[in-house]
């Protein structure tokens, strides 16, 4: 068996293969649902209903999509330059820590001034966190996959230490949680009384801005060139190391915004379960979007819908809600296969 590049990917192929990936994902998930003793049609219907069947469901889905847009963008930016940032989870938490440190009263400023400061500070913290692994990669050739992965564990322990120490809320009844951020540090709700907040708007703005950087700026071009072939890029006069550093700063900053938005917009305080793996799910979000920043918005809403819908479905049918994680993982694997098949032809011989 061998692969031959297609001269030009046909339009039908570009649509049909991803469609095939979705079908394959549904088939695999159906098998698991059947094993669980439920009807796949009923389960998929309930997932859809739970994700988009009512105003409440849709608002919940968009709320859940918000951090995924940020982490998805972070991964998309990094993977474009083949900087394997698997540490979005850690960057998210550092962004949240920064928000809590500065937002619980240390800076008594009005909201219009405080919000940009918190955003900038959170981004800076996340950027600096990814700068470490990027530097080690460039300077010593240490694989950033392992360092960013290990940093996830280190940072989570660090946050746990802070929440049981200096950041612990004295009024928190002994729970490891931080104080709530002050009113001026909070992002307002989009609709009064509903959970959806201005973090979602910030996420859309970040997606648009990232799209511009990636598609229209010199840096975006350089990132693609470095990702495609670093040697050739260097030969063509592109400062490979500088591009990787800039990519790391942007990626880490975007991931940290997820932490800022969750604290300032939704939760109000920092706990150890702030993120149920948003950093890892961001990888799936980015891959499903084929690393396109605007596609990230769509795929984040799609993935969030599966999670929100599966929770509702699980309560109704008893099928474990982990089916959502399985579905998302299968979607990732089938989608990367589909993308490959739309560009190459398989020859058996």
Partner 1 sequence: MEAFEILLTASFWVAAIRIASPLIFATMGELICERAGVLNLGIEGIMTVGAFAGWFTVYAGGDLWFGVLVAALAGGLFGLLHGFLTVPLGLSQHVTGIGITLLATSITYFSYRLLLPEVTSPPKIEPFQALAIPVLSDIPVIGPALFNQTPLTYLAFVLVALVAWIFYRTPIGLALRAVGENPSAVEAQGISVTAMRMGAVVVGSALMAVGGAFLTMSAFNSFFFEMINGRGWVCIALVVFGSWRPGKALAGAILFAAFDAYQVRLQQVTGGVVPYQVFLMMPYVLSILALIAVARRASYPKALMIPYQKGER
Which parts of this chain interact with partner 1 (CB under 8 A)? 1-3, 32, 35-36, 79, 84, 86, 136, 140-143, 145-147, 149-154, 157-158, 160-161, 164-165, 280, 283-284, 287, 318, 320, 322-323, 325-326, 328-330, 332-333, 336-337, 340
Q: Which is nearer to partner 1, 187 or 330 (CB)?
A: 330
CB of 74 to partner 1, least distance (A): 14
256 and 202 in contact (C-beta within 8 Å)? no
Q: Which is nearer to partner 1, 75 or 122 (CB)?
A: 75
Other CB atoms within a 10 A radius of the CB of residue 279 amount to 27
Q: Is 39 helix (H, G, I), strand (E, B) or coil?
A: coil
CA distance 148 to 84: 8
CA distance 52 to 29: 20
CB of 11 to partner 1, least distance (A): 23
Q: Which is nearer to partner 1, 99 or 147 (CB)?
A: 147
Residue 101 has, within 13 A of its CA and on its CB side, a CA count of: 16
CB of 157 to partner 1, least distance (A): 4
CB of 2 to partner 1, least distance (A): 5
CB of 341 to partner 1, least distance (A): 8
Q: Which is nearer to partner 1, 35 or 183 (CB)?
A: 35
CB of 71 to partner 1, least distance (A): 13
The residue to which tokens 């105003």 are assigned = 55
Angle between helices 240-261 and 278-288 (to 10 degrees): 120
Compute CA distances 112 → 167, 184, 199, whole Å: 25, 8, 15
- Parallel, antiparallel or unpaired: strands 344-347 and 2-5: antiparallel
Provide the sign of the torsion angle of the four alpha carbons 129, 131, 134, 139, taken in this order.
negative
């Amino acid at each position: 068996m061998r692969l031959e590049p297609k001269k030009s990917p046909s339009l039908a192929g570009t649509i049909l293969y991803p469609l095939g990936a979705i079908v394959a994902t549904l088939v695999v998930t159906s098998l698991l649902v059947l094993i669980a003793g439920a009807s796949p049609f009923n389960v998929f219907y309930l997932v859809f209903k739970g994700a988009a069947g009512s105003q409440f469901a849709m608002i919940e889905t968009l709320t859940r999509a918000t951090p995924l847009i940020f982490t998805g963008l972070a991964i998309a930016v990094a993977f474009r330059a083949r900087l394997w940032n698997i540490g979005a989870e850690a960057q998210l938490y550092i962004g949240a820590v920064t928000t809590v440190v500065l937002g619980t009263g240390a800076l008594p400023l009005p909201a219009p001034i405080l919000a940009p400061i918190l955003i900038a500070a959170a981004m800076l913290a996340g950027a600096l966190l990814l700068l470490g692994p990027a530097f080690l990669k460039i300077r010593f050739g240490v694989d950033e996959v392992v360092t960013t992965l290990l940093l996830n564990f280190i940072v989570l322990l660090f946050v746990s230490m802070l929440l049981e120490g200096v950041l612990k809320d004295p009024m928190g009844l002994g729970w490891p949680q931080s104080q709530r951020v002050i009113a001026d540090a909070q992002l307002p709700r989009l609709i009064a009384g509903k959970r959806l907040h201005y973090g979602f708007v910030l996420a859309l703005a970040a997606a648009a801005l990232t799209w511009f950087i990636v598609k229209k700026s010199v840096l975006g071009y350089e990132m693609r060139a470095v990702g495609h072939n670093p040697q050739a890029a260097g030969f063509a006069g592109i400062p490979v190391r500088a591009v990787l550093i800039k990519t790391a700063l942007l990626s880490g900053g975007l991931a940290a915004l997820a932490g800022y938005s969750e604290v300032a917009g939704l939760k109000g305080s920092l706990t150890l379960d702030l993120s149920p793996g948003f950093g890892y799910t961001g990888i799936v979000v980015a891959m499903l979007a084929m690393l396109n920043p605007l596609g990230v918005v769509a795929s984040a809403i799609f993935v969030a819908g599966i999670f929100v819908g599966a929770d509702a479905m699980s309560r109704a049918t008893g099928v474990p809600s982990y089916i959502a994680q399985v579905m998302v993982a299968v979607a990732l694997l089938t989608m990367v296969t589909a993308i490959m098949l739309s560009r190459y032809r398989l020859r058996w011989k």
